[in-house]
Amino acid sequence: MKLNLILGVLASVAYASDFAIEDYTGHVHGAGCNHDHAAEGGEHAHEHGEGCNHDHAAEGGEHAHEHGEDCNHDHAAEGGEHAHEHGEGCNQDHAAEGGEHAHEHGEGCNHDHAAEGGEHAHEHGEGCNHDHAAEGGEHAHEHGEGCTHDHSSGPVVVKADAHARHISAMKIEVVPAAGLALTHSMYGHLFVPRHALESYSLPCGGRISLHVKSAQNVKKGDILYTVVAPEVSSLVADIRKQEAAITRCGEEIESLSQRLSRLKAAGTTNSDIEEQLNFKNAEKRQLQRELEVTQAKLNILVMGAEIKAENGMPTLVVRAHNDGIVRNVGITQGSWGEQGAAVVTMSNLAAMEIEGTLYGNNVPDFTTVRATRLSGRDNTEIEGTWRMAEQVDEEKQTRAFYFIPDALPTDARPGQLCRVDFYNDGGEQGYVTIPDSALVKVGIDDVVFLEVAEGTFAMVKVQAGTSRRGMTPVKGLVPGQRLVVKGGYELRYLLPADGSQQKKAGHFHADGKFHEGEDH
């Protein structure tokens, strides 16, 4: 056992002595050395004992960065020197582009190479929050700027079919301009003023055939009625006789003129033929004057109506002068009417006005008047001018107010209810005035519903002011949006969990346009 211990000690001494002799290169013995003696034949420049990560396999010469520093040079991507400083991080997207990347090497790059085939507009290295998933085109905010769309709490969207909209008597109204203060509201009706009524009477006695009925829509040029009148028939017969006499007289004049020409050619004259020719010319002029008088009588009699021959009888055809509606038919079918009898009264619907009343001594202070027709599904805004009566009704202490539309919907009819709102310029910026009926309570919040597509409605939270005369100023809407002013209470019951934002259905842009889709 002692012999074995002595042999082990001698072996250890012999091993240590052999290592000290073969490992001598000038550095302190026992210090670590990673000198790559296999790669170079001479002295390595870094201090002995320091770590070396020189990539001897990639280059045949001296590497530029300091020895011992990390190197992330992308030797695989480029065959030459890399432009950024050695040791700096490089995130150049060598796979996406074949050439030099524009941003500085070492800077972060979030260029969306997958979303666009060309150059991205924001500066390289700047942050990009472009919503490529939500929109197929350009996002409205500037590149690199933060996006204020609150996708996490976007408006809830509900859908209602045509039947549901019908049974809830849903009505839509366009959000008005912002920054106007409501000073007064009144209700009125569409009516046809007297100057827009047109009466068609019998120009002469005769038997009438009606072609229209009461309350019938009529287009300009449509036949209202026809009249078979003896007086018209008599005048037409006189005109035909006079025209025939003029024709016959003209033929006699032509015959006499030819005889005189032949005599003159033979060198003779005939005073009797010349006298007959002069007489016939005078007769023709007289017949023409008589014809003109008869035609004038007929024109006055028919008052511009058309005359047609039906079954050999001259028939007077009366047509509508304008588009309108038959307000009244004052005669029975096939009856005889005397000259001047009222047959049809027409209403020119294009000339309708809105009539309302104001308190005589309490005229509102206003600079703008806005009229809205409340009939039909869409409460249609109507543009136009206004006039107000100067005199006050002594009995009622009111004065008449008239709104004259520039144009009316094609389905406008007398008697339809309208609302007239009076505004001045003293409203708060960002606030619009909407009917109280548009506001719906969901929990403690005031919300409204906006129609974003047919049958699709987005719930939007608004900040409501103080109600006045059935109208409330609110903040959170954009002029021009389609607001549900009736039926929003019913839509409330279609909300998930009573209005909770469980499903992110889209967002509104600054111009009020809605974009449906999941949050990204």
> Over the chain, what is the mean pLDDT?
74
Q: What is the CATH number of domain 155-179+427-520?
A: 2.40.420.20
List of long-range contacts for 253-261, beta carbons under 8 Å, 24+ apart? 253/277, 253/280, 253/281, 253/284, 256/280
For residue 491, give the H/E element and its range. helix 488-492
Question: What's the pLDDT at 254?
Answer: 92
For the CA atoms of 210, 213, 217, 218, what is the dihedral angle to 10 degrees? 10
Residue 251, pLDDT above cutoff 50: yes
Give me the pLDDT at residue 19, please: 33
Residue by residue, DSSP assigns 144-181 as TSPP---GGGPPEEEE--HHHHHHTT-EEEE---SS-E
Which H or E element spans position 301?
helix 271-302
82-86, 153-157, 260-264 — which one is most confidently predicted on average? 260-264
Lowest-pLDDT choice from 87-96, 393-402, 459-468: 87-96
| Tens digits of residue pLDDT in 131-185 | 443 344 344 444 444 444 444 456 789 999 999 889 888 999 999 888 888 888 8
Structure letter (DSSP) for residue 498 = G
Q: What is the mean pLDDT of residues 82-107?
A: 48
Domains of the chain by residue range: 155-179+427-520, 197-347
* 168 neighbors 490 (Cβ within 8 angstroms): yes
Q: Is the model's pLDDT at 226 over the cut of 50? A: yes
209: pLDDT strictly greater than 90 = yes
State the Cα–Cα distance between residues 222 and 210, nearest whole angstrom.
Answer: 12
Question: What is the predicted pLDDT for the residue at 291?
Answer: 94
Nearest to 80 by CA among 66, 96, 61: 61
More confident residue, 146 or 362: 362
Torsion over CA: 497, 500, 501, 502 (sign): negative
What is the per-residue pLDDT for 501?
A: 45
Query: What CA–CA distance (Å, rounded) separates 496 from 477?
Result: 22
Share of the chain above pLDDT 70, in %: 66
* pLDDT greater than 90 at residue 243: yes
Alpha-carbon distance of 461 to 479, in angstroms, equals: 16
Sign of CA dihedral 331, 333, 338, 339: positive
Of the candidates 188, 171, 229, the one whose C-alpha atom is nearest the C-alpha of residue 375 is 171
pLDDT for residue 133: 38
pLDDT tier at 443 (50, 70, 90 boundaries)?
A: confident
Q: Say if residue 326 is exposed, middle or buried (CB neighbours under 10 Å; 0-12, 13-18, 19+).
A: buried
Q: In the structure, what pLDDT confidence band is assigned to residue 287 with cuts at 50, 70 and 90?
A: very high
DSSP letter at 46? S
Q: Is the pLDDT of residue 271 over 50?
A: yes
Residue 386's identity, in one-letter code, is W
Question: What is the pLDDT averaged over residues 97-101?
Answer: 47
| pLDDT score for 339 | 87
Check if the beta carbon of residue 427 is closer than 8 Å to that of residue 181: yes
Neighbouring CB atoms inside 10 A of 314's CB total 21
**pLDDT confidence bin for 324, thresholds 50/70/90:** confident
- In what side-by-side order are the strands of the sheet with 223-228? 306-310, 313-319, 223-228, 206-210, 336-337
pLDDT above 90 coverage of the chain, percent:
29
Which pLDDT tens digit goes with each residue over 38-70?
444 444 455 554 555 555 444 454 445 555 555
Task: Quote the pTM value.
Answer: 0.52
| Residues 152/504, Cβ–Cβ less than 8 Å | yes
- What is the pLDDT, as a whole number, of residue 392? 87
pLDDT, greater one: 5 or 230 = 230
For residue 325, which phi and psi values (nearest 5 degrees)?
-135, 140
pLDDT greater than 50 at residue 493: yes
The rounded Cα 40 to chain-centroid distance in angstroms is 78
